[in-house]
Amino acid sequence: MSTLQKIAIFYFVALMIAASINYIPGLTDENGLAFGIFALDLYDDALHVASALWALVAGLMSRNAARMFLILFGAAYLGDGIFGIFTGYGFLDMGIFTNASLGMDLSLGRFLANLPHLALGGFGLYAGLFIERHA
């Protein structure tokens, strides 16, 4: 199994954990915020499960499938995190289409709320573009 395939399998695990956050007692506060920072709803959970299954299939299929997953997933999630910082909502869950923009906010709270997508997306894109380039 290639490094890219192992990374894709890691993404499967990470995304399944993200999808389960709302269902683990103690991880959400009385306002429904995970870790007191961001809210996850059924659309977010569905997005995370669909992305996780895509990661699993790609990771099990081949190195090239894993690379394509990492590039496409990485670009989509990184972009979603950037949109989240600039508007308060992402595009993957259609938030920017159903809510008025909250405007750009460079506060720690807004950054932390978007950090999972920025980190997973950024690393996924990096891995897909630069890890095992010539293998």
Give the contacts of 86 (CB within 8 A, at least 6 positions apart). 101, 104
Domain for residue 90, yes or no?
yes
Give this prediction's pTM: 0.87
Domain for residue 62, yes or no?
yes
Give the contacts of 104 (CB within 8 A, at least 6 positions apart). 85, 86, 87
How far, in whole angstroms, is CA 114 from its chain's centroid? Answer: 9
Residue 135 pLDDT: 58
Contact 63, 134 (CB under 8 A): no
Alpha carbons within 13 A on the beta-carbon side of 135: 15
What's the total number of domains in the chain? Answer: 1
Q: What is the pLDDT along the chain (135 residues), one digit of tens a residue?
A: 999 999 999 999 999 999 998 888 877 777 767 776 667 778 888 999 999 999 999 999 999 999 999 999 999 999 999 989 988 878 887 777 887 778 888 889 889 889 999 999 999 999 999 998 865
Domain for residue 105, yes or no?
yes
Q: What are phi and psi of 127, to 5 degrees?
A: -60, -45
- Structural domain of residue 72, as residue ranges? 3-130
Domain for residue 91, yes or no?
yes
Residue 63 pLDDT: 97
Domain for residue 67, yes or no?
yes
Domain for residue 135, yes or no?
no
User: Which amino acid, one-letter code, is at 25?
Assistant: P
